[in-house]
Amino acid sequence: MLHRDSPIGIFDSGIGGLTVMRRIKERLPNERLVYFGDTARVPYGTKSPLAIRKYAAEDTALLLRYNPKLIVIACGTVSAVALDVVKETAKDIPVLGVIAACVATALEKTKTKKIGVIGTLATIASEAYPREIYAREHGATVFSKACPLFVPLAEEGFLNHEATRLIAHEYLADFKTEAIDTLILGCTHYPVLRPAIEFIMGNKVQIIDSGEAMALEVELVLASRDLLNLSKTTALHQLMVSDVPQKFKTVAELFLGIELPDVELVAT
Amino acid sequence: MLHRDSPIGIFDSGIGGLTVMRRIKERLPNERLVYFGDTARVPYGTKSPLAIRKYAAEDTALLLRYNPKLIVIACGTVSAVALDVVKETAKDIPVLGVIAACVATALEKTKTKKIGVIGTLATIASEAYPREIYAREHGATVFSKACPLFVPLAEEGFLNHEATRLIAHEYLADFKTEAIDTLILGCTHYPVLRPAIEFIMGNKVQIIDSGEAMALEVELVLASRDLLNLSKTTALHQLMVSDVPQKFKTVAELFLGIELPDVELVAT
């Protein structure tokens, strides 16, 4: 049985998913959130589907110990290549990946139906986004591009640096040529690079931030199952990671946008 | 008992260590090399000493299955924070880290005794390089800088890209001010970025490449123990990894400089 006062479990390959946690927290302040970031094995996006699927099952199993009423995959890569693994491991607990939420928002906003998607190597190679978009909208045209340097640039805090703009220009130039009107940020690290991405894409292209899209989806799913918490819990949010590396606090606060709660080190 | 015809075991967090394998292969063509790259958990350099030490012990145990006559840590980060763990795990088998080799070469070449060191966050935070340099040469002055973006830039093939030069300029500017005459590349990924680094540092600064320094050290250690292979073995080199991600072959060949031998997927 799922309970209203159970927490929402959120996981990511690392701390990029804190951008999703932040949006859920803003939208649903009554909810208690339990976040796990697999910082010992981060990044996932440069690795193989085989490795990602193994890690995703382990991450889900870890969250299940906290009896969540919903599991949120705050990782574009896991959502793209291991959604089925997470659902299988989570059994009766509902699971939300970022792809459906981002695609729903993108299809609402696009006028020309020319949609760009950026993500990790693994996400783009999986073709999960074009598959989801074409299934919902035959008339769409999807352009995809892997942007492997965006994750390290975000983690190193090179947010609106000239080097970041140069790299963004190189990655995004084709989207300009193809005249997309909507760009999905298919990796939860990317929202902190939004100013650099917008600098290249201009202000006519709608940017779809997976955190915002997910927070809306979380609310809809919980409401439909009558699982929204009606009063604010006094219990604190929990933040667990598999490693606490150099500069962890600084980088994590960059993604979360507020001061971190206590961080617990756990083994996967 | 160690045997002349046993292989040399080499490991790294990923495939940056292939730059070391390449130099050993060039210098000691008779030797059979067994390489393990922990591509499922790469990178190590952004992680904590705790995680790195655990991984280093597991990597060493894996190489021990091949009865190596020598273990080469082709990873600056492991050499800096887990040399003792590797030695303990390897028991009677000699172990070489990159630090002693690089420092020996740097002290031979420097005239002003002003030495710069670049490496990962974990390597620089460990202060292993300054410790080793000051222990051998009291009159030296050491300047260190972590360059976290160099590994992803190398792996993404942004070798002499304008963005790489901008980032290199930012990382290396202090070395110019301090007028170092020798710069240690304290991460085995960095040799492929040498043109960009030299572009910033100019041609008066000596660059110490850990691959070259290690190959020399390997020869000296094996010769001193009468363990050099006297005739070329017909056995092939072995290349093992814990994950085979996207673009693996392209990137690995960039570091190795030749076509890859067959790659075997192993679990740590």
Query: For the CA atoms of chain A, what is the radius of gyration?
Result: 17
The mean predicted confidence, pLDDT, of chain B is 95
Banded pLDDT at B184 (limits 50, 70, 90): very high
Tell me, what's the pLDDT at B259?
A: 86
CB contact under 8 A, B46 and A244: no
**What is the percent of chain B where pLDDT is above 90?**
89
- Checking if the pLDDT of B262 tops 90, the result is no
Taking only the tens place, the pLDDT of each residue in B121-153 is 999 999 999 999 999 999 999 999 999 999 999
- Checking if the pLDDT of B267 tops 90, the result is no
Q: What mean pLDDT is predicted for residues A85-113?
A: 97
Tell me, what's the pLDDT at B46?
A: 93
The residue with greater pLDDT, B234 or A113, is: A113
DSSP assignment letter at A139: T
C-alpha span between B76 and B16 (Å, rounded): 10
From the list B40, B153, B170, the residue facing A149 with the nearest CB is B153
User: Does B148 lie at the interface with A, CB-CB under 8 angstroms?
Assistant: yes
Nearest residue of chain A to residue B150 (CA atoms): A152
How far from B87 is each of B8, B72, B84, CA to CA, in Å?
15, 11, 5
Tell me, what's the pLDDT at A112?
A: 98
**What is the percent of chain A where pLDDT is above 90?**
88
- Checking if the pLDDT of A215 tops 80, the result is yes
CB contact under 8 A, A148 and B155: yes
- Alpha carbon of residue B152 to chain centroid: 16
The minimum CA-CA distance between A43 and chain B, rounded to whole Å, is: 8
Tell me, what's the pLDDT at B233?
A: 73
Q: What mean pLDDT is predicted for residues A159-169?
A: 95
User: Of A150, A221, A216, A219, which is closest to residue A183 (Cα–Cα)?
Assistant: A150
Residue ranges of B 20-39 with Cβ closer than 8 A to chain A: 39
The dihedral formed by the CA atoms of A209, A211, A217 and A223, expressed in degrees to the nearest 10: -140
- Checking if the pLDDT of B178 tops 90, the result is yes
Tell me, what's the pLDDT at A162?
A: 95
DSSP string for residues in chain B: ---TTSPEEEEESSSTTHHHHHHHHHH-TT--EEEEE-TTT---TTS-HHHHHHHHHHHHHHHHTT--SEEEE--HHHHHH-HHHHHHHHTTS-EE-HHHHHHHHHHHH-SS-EEEEEE-HHHHHHTHHHHHHHHH-TT-EEEEEE-TTHHHHHHTT-SS-HHHHHHHHHHHHHHHHHT-SEEEE-STTGGGGHHHHHHHH-TTSEEEEHHHHHHHHHHHHHHHTT---SS--SSPPEEEES---TTHHHHHHHHHSS----EEE---
The minimum CA-CA distance between B41 and chain A, rounded to whole Å, is: 5
Tell me, what's the pLDDT at A1?
A: 79
The minimum CA-CA distance between B189 and chain A, rounded to whole Å, is: 15
Tell me, what's the pLDDT at A260?
A: 87
C-alpha span between B235 and B161 (Å, rounded): 39
Banded pLDDT at B160 (limits 50, 70, 90): confident
Contact list, A247 vs chain B (CB under 8 Å)? 121
- Checking if the pLDDT of B199 tops 80, the result is yes
This model of the complex carries an ipTM of 0.91
Active site residues of A: 75, 187
**pTM listed for this prediction:** 0.94
Write out the two tokens for A113. Answer: 């139906």
- Checking if the pLDDT of B235 tops 80, the result is no
Banded pLDDT at B19 (limits 50, 70, 90): very high
- Checking if the pLDDT of B25 tops 80, the result is yes
- Checking if the pLDDT of B196 tops 80, the result is yes
Instruction: Classify A179 as helix, strand or coil.
Output: coil
Peptide bond into A43 cis (omega under 30): yes
Residue with tokens 């850990």: B210
Q: Is B187 a catalytic residue?
A: yes
Catalytic: which of B20, B42, B74, B75? B75
Banded pLDDT at A27 (limits 50, 70, 90): very high
- Checking if the pLDDT of A145 tops 80, the result is yes
CB contact set of B115 (below 8 Å; sequence gap of 6+): B106, B107, B133, B140, B141, B142, B143, B180, B181, B182, B183, B184
- Checking if the pLDDT of A233 tops 80, the result is no
Tell me, what's the pLDDT at A232?
A: 81
User: Does B250 lie at the interface with A, CB-CB under 8 angstroms?
Assistant: no
Contact list, A144 vs chain B (CB under 8 Å)? none
From the list B47, B166, B247, the residue facing A163 with the nearest CB is B166
